[in-house]
Amino acid sequence: MTTSFRGYWRQSGLCFLTFVIGIAVAMAWQNVWHEAGISNGVPQVPAATAPAAPSEHWNIILTLIVMAALAAIVLAVGFRLAAEQRSTSASSTTASDSRHATLVATPISAGPEDIEHVRDHVDRQLAELVGYVSRYLDTTSDQETVFSTAQTNLAGASTVEQVQEVIKLLIANNATARQNADELRARLVEAKSESAQLQASLHKAETLATVDGLTNLPNRRRFQDSLSEHVAACHREHTPLCLVMADLDHFKAVNDKHGHLAGDAVLKTFATLLSRGIRSTDVAARYGGEEFALILPKTPLGSASSVAESLRRTVVETNWIGANSKQRIGRVTASFGVAEIREDETVDELIDRADQKLYEAKRKGRNRVELDHTVATSAK
C-alpha cells in the first residue's frame, strides 16, 4: 500500500469519525433538552412519561442513513483516486524503466554521432523536467483559485449540503495536489539518477572519441585539434614549436613473425616510452598504425632534436617482449622526422614537412633522426 494511499485512508477515517461524533453530539443535545422538559423554550412533559413520537425516531434514523451514505461516497472517491494514482505511478515507472533500458542497451562507440546521441538524451530529459515543473506550477495556481472559491462558498453557506460541497471540493483538490507533488518528486529522483548515468555515458563517449583504444594516447582526431591549438598559440605569442613524427621500423615483420598480439604489445610499449620521454606540457599521440607524433610547444629545433635522439636510443636499448613475458621480440628500432614551425605556416604544412623528414630517415637506413633545418623566423 503506497504512502499516499495510507494517507487517504487516514483522511477518510477522520472524516467518517467527524460525522459520527457530530451525530452523537446532536443526539446527546436532543436528549438533554428532552430531559429538561423543554421544547422550543416551553416546558414539556418529562421524557420518562412522554416517549418520543415516531416521527422523531424516523428523523434520527434518516440522519444516520444520510451520514452513512456520505461516508460511503467519501470512501468510494478515495478508492477511485488511489487506484488512479497507482495506475499513473505504474505507467510512469514503466516508461522510466524503458528509458533506462534504452540508454543502457545503447552501445557507446568512438564516433561523434554517439556523443550527439547522449546529448539528445540530456536535452529530452531537461525538456521533460521543464514540462513537469510547469504543470506543477499551473496546478499550484489552480489550487489558489480553488481555495479562494471554497472560502467564498463557505462564507455564504447556509445549509449542510452547501458545506458538504465545499468539503468535497477541498478533498478532491487536496488529492490532486498530492498526486501532482508525488509525481514531480518521483520524476526528480529519476532525473537525478538518469543525469548521473548520462554524464558518465557522455564522458565515456567523449573519451572514446579522442583516445586510441590500444595505447591510451590521444588519437589522430585529438592530435589534430591539439596541434591546431598549439600552432595558433605559437603564432599569437611568437614562440617556437616543433613537431616530431616517429615510426617503428619493420613493424610488419614483427606482426608476421610473432603475431598481432605481440605487435600490439610493441605498440603499447612504444607509446609508453614516448610518453615518458617528454614533458607534461608536450603531447604524444598515435597518428595511425605504427606512426606516432609528438607536439613540443615552446621548443626550438635543437632541443627537439635532442628529445628525438634520446627517444631513439631508448627504443634501441629496451628489452622488447611480446604478449607474455616469455615471448622475446628482439631488437626494435624507430625513425624520427623533426620540423620547426615557420612564420604563418599552417598545421597541414607543418605535418607535411615533418613527414617528409621521417620518410628521409627511412630512406637513409632507418633508426635515425632527420631534421628540417629551415630556420623558423617566428622563433627567435
Supply the residues annotated as catalytic: 290
Chain position carrying cell 420518562: 48
Chain position carrying cell 615557420: 342
Strand partners, 370: 337
Q: Which amino acid is at 231?
A: V
Buried b (16+ CB within 10 A) or exposed e, 304-318: bbebbeebbeebeeb
CB 245 within 8 A of CB 357: yes
Spatial CB neighbours of 347, under 8 Å, sequence gap ≥ 6: 224, 227, 228, 231
Name the residue among 83, 76, 84 with its Cα closest to residue 168: 76
CB 251 within 8 A of CB 263: yes
Cell digits for 221? Answer: 582526431
User: At how many degrees (to 10) do helices 251-258 and 260-276 cross?
Assistant: 140
